[in-house]
Amino acid sequence: MRLVIAAMVALPLLAGTPASAASEKAAEGKVVCKNKAKTGTRFPSKMCRTRSEWEQISAQNKRDAKEMIDKPIVANDCQGAGC
């Protein structure tokens, strides 16, 4: 009897694992649209990308921002007459 109860409790947990992996994969392929502000107009533009593409864009933007922050500032040490 205890074995039957344990199986009844564990079965939904085991069955949910592949379904959640499949739903996660389907969620990555889902198209997500966002409104982006555009300079020079009052009207936003609508951009539609997949969830994984939005994650790639976000990661690239973070890398670009970090590169700009970490980039050393070089002073213009102009020694010539044309400065």
- The pLDDT of residue 4 is 46
| 74 falls within a domain | no
pTM of the predicted model over 0.75: no
| 8 falls within a domain | no
**Residue spans of beta strands (DSSP E) within the chain:** 31-36, 45-50
| 59 falls within a domain | yes
Q: Give the Cα-Cα-Cα angle 63, 67, 73 (nearest 5 degrees).
A: 170
Structurally, the chain folds into a number of domains equal to 1
Q: Which residues contact 72 (CB under 8 A, 6 or more apart)?
A: none
- The pLDDT of residue 3 is 46
Nearest in space to 53 (alpha carbons), one of 68, 36, 33, 38 = 33
| 73 falls within a domain | no
- The pLDDT of residue 73 is 78
pLDDT tens digits in sequence order for the chain, 83 residues long: 454 455 555 545 555 455 566 676 677 789 999 999 989 998 989 999 999 999 999 999 999 999 999 988 777 666 666 66
